[in-house]
Amino acid sequence: MSSPLDPNVQPAPTEPAIDITVAGARTTALAGSTAAELFASDRSIVVARINGELRDLATVLNAGDDVEPVTIDSPDGLAVLRHSAAHVLAQAVQEINPKAKLGIGPPITDGFYYDFDVETPFTPEDLAALDKAMAKIIKQGQTFRRREVSDEDALAELADEPYKIELIGLKSNASDAGEGAGVEVGDGGLSIYENVLRDGTVVWQDLCRGPHLPSTRLIGNGVKLMRSAAAYWRGSEKNPQLQRVYGTAWPTKDELRAYLDRLAEAERRDHRRLGTELDLFSFPDEIGSGLAVFHPKGGIIRMEMEEYSRRRHVEADYSFVNSPHITKAKLFETSKHLDWYADGMYPPMKLDEERDSEGNIRKAAQDYYLKPMNCPMHNLIFSSRGRSYRELPLRLFEFGTVYRYEKSGVVHGLTRARGFTQDDAHIYTTREQMKDELSSLLSFVLDLLRDYGLEDFYLELSTRDPEKSVGDDETWHEATETLREVATESGLHLVDDPGGAAFYGPKISVQAKDAIGRTWQLSTIQLDFFEPELFELEYAAADGTRQRPVMIHRALFGSIERFFAILVEHYAGAFPTWLAPVQVRAIPVAEAFEDYLNEFVSTLRLQGVRAELDTSHDRFPKKIRTASKEKIPFVVIAGGEDADAGAVSFRFRDGSQRNGIPLAEAAELILTSIRDRSQV
């Protein structure tokens, strides 16, 4: 039979044809054709997007369908690959342990997981056995076959799977059913996927919306189980605790190997490990979870980060403000944070109660909260006196420490802490000024991030969640489209984040890639028409009327702590000279040359260089090894020949060395590296 897409062959009169659109082009296909037949010549196509929805290649095409091919290496294709691998994992688990009950198995970033109700937790040996069982299933080339079922039939067929039965009862509210439930059930009908051998025997089945790969063989050998952990059913601590198995899946074994190498490199760069090794910070149990203390070396890095940022903000005409760490509840009632954000705040403190001598309450206590953000206090600064249009844009900036009650399972070193300092700015503009201000602000943000050594960016636009927001549609539309224009004009790639906005306005997020290709969300820029309304902020316009300002929320680093962690991992602890806690360590070849090097170190210190002389009793080779482990940018060495020549020798972090450099030239080399913020 001719290909349904062959433009030179017209269907025979006895074979009716249908008109469809494929990859944007109108064409014809034989009636009854499937997407698999349509794309039979390209084995990289594993699923199709038909009329906007991902569907199995076995789907029969109808007249008027709009069909797009989806390759296995595309984001959608990878998700289908990983979802299919999750099904194979579940099949393998039940082959080995038929008593295991199935939970949910969705694809996730870089992999998949599946939850199981089993009597005992999985061991590393169990995972190794499951890897082998999965490889056997994959090699068999079992077909994923979709079968639509009624609620009644699904309940009957899955009677031994209590968690699936529960999901069926929740299908009309899948969004509320908990994490991962959307891959199983949703609005509309139900479907079961059968795994079928080549002789037609059904060997396993699972409740699922799909789609899946045509065959398990297409999963290939780029699959590996990674770890197991306890997880609450549907993500709620009120529900039973299940055992979750995590895996990763890639189109090829080479891509799997590259991913595992990236994980190993990420582990080597983990800021929590390097924070201990380099003596930068710690999380004392006596203080509490998610609350860090910075040690002297970490404190120096943080100081440099903040001081450079302060200087750049002064140049950009920001005004510096400060606000307290706690406030009365009324402030967060006005801002609506207690309506929308209370779950992320620490519980209130009852304060200011007054009693008479007999113990009777004379003045009731008030609720005070640790502040989770700075914007309400900045609004009070704006409203502390009358404002004129001549003062706008008014740019208020603060390194403000805030506190958010993250759940213990979410806290992760400095990247997800409970107490952290935001480099927080709130900019008040007229409506006419806001677009230009946003454009210059985005440029300012990107330029400053580049100064810290990050270069690869894209932007994300978070839009309104109608269920979790205040204000009217028209204003939200104006704010969103203004941000979209600014983001588009920046020339950076822009992706949408539907429903990801804060309750008061849309935002642009700067996404940055680090040295090993991981993406981090950094700066956020939020456009807010509603907080000024809630606080009744006004300025005197040129025509004498009172007008509401527009408010822009901006956190450049996100938080000092999180950005600190990102830089630790980006540089693997080997900070550029301007940020390094110790910039120069001088190591004499022998004790006799200590005075000579000490004079050089003193000269550097007078010029602001963080330089030190190693006078320890360690042998010279050990001193060199210690400096290397501490990742010090400049190790300065001097022996007899150097002293006689009025010179020093350099040993760099990459192991290279330069000998006999005159003292003045050596000092200038160090100072230039600091002054130019060299990234080496």
Strand pairing category for 319-320 and 394-403: parallel
Which of the residues 91, 142, 243, 422 is marked catalytic?
Answer: 422
Question: Which contiguous run of DSSP H or E holds residue 414?
Answer: none
Which of the residues 209, 337, 553, 610 is marked catalytic?
Answer: 553
Q: Is 375 a catalytic residue?
A: yes
For residues 120 and 230, the answer to whether their CB atoms sit within 8 Å is no
Q: Is 404 a catalytic residue?
A: yes
Q: Is 269 a catalytic residue?
A: no
Round to whole Å and give the CA distance between 559 and 164: 41
Single-letter amino acid code for the residue at 494: L
Which of the residues 234, 507, 554, 585 is marked catalytic?
Answer: 507
The CA-atom distances, in angstroms, between 408 and each of 12, 413, 422, 540 are 67, 11, 21, 47
Q: Return the number of other C-beta atoms located less than 10 Å from residue 589's C-beta.
A: 17
Q: Is 313 annotated as a binding residue?
A: no
Q: Which residue has the tokens 């206590």?
A: 365
The C-alpha angle 361, 363, 367, rounded to 5 degrees, equals 110
Round to whole Å and give the CA distance between 8 and 28: 11
Phi, psi of 452 (to 5 degrees): -90, 5
What are 227's strand-pairing partners? 246
Neighbour-count burial for 287-313, b at 16+ CB within 10 Å, e otherwise: eeebebebbebbebbbebbeebbeeeb
The CA-atom distances, in angstroms, between 111 and each of 75, 78, 93, 222, 516 are 12, 9, 17, 11, 18
Surface-to-core class of residue 255, CB atoms within 10 Å of its CB (0-12 exposed, 13-18 middle, 19+ buried): middle
Instruction: Report DSSP letters for 628-668, one per residue.
Output: HHTT-SEEEEE-HHHHHHTEEEEEETTS-EEEEEEHHHHHH
Q: Is 507 a catalytic residue?
A: yes
The C-alpha angle 419, 423, 426, rounded to 5 degrees, equals 115
Q: Is 375 annotated as a binding residue?
A: yes
Strand pairing category for 494-497 and 456-462: parallel
- Which distant-in-sequence residues (6+ apart) come within 8 Å of 308 by Cβ? 451, 578
The CA-atom distances, in angstroms, between 294 and each of 165, 298, 417, 610, 655 are 51, 5, 13, 18, 29
The C-alpha angle 172, 178, 183, rounded to 5 degrees, equals 65
Round to whole Å and give the CA distance between 306 and 387: 29
Greatest C-alpha distance within the chain: 104
Which of the residues 126, 424, 514, 642 is marked catalytic?
Answer: 424
Q: Return the number of other C-beta atoms located less than 10 Å from residue 360's C-beta.
A: 8
Which of the residues 208, 302, 375, 651 is marked catalytic?
Answer: 375
Q: What 8-state DSSP symbol labels residue 347?
A: P
Which of the residues 87, 426, 554, 570 is marked catalytic?
Answer: 426
Which of the residues 224, 404, 554, 623 is marked catalytic?
Answer: 404
Round to whole Å and give the CA distance between 414 and 119: 36
Q: Is 424 a catalytic residue?
A: yes
For residues 584 and 633, the answer to whether their CB atoms sit within 8 Å is yes
Round to whole Å and give the CA distance between 201 and 475: 58
For residues 389 and 542, the answer to whether their CB atoms sit within 8 Å is yes
Single-letter amino acid code for the residue at 496: D
354: alpha, beta or left, given left = phi > 0 and alpha = psi -120 to 50?
beta
Binding residues: 375, 426, 553
Binding residues for Zn(2+): 375, 426, 553
- Which residues are known catalytic residues? 375, 404, 422, 424, 426, 507, 553
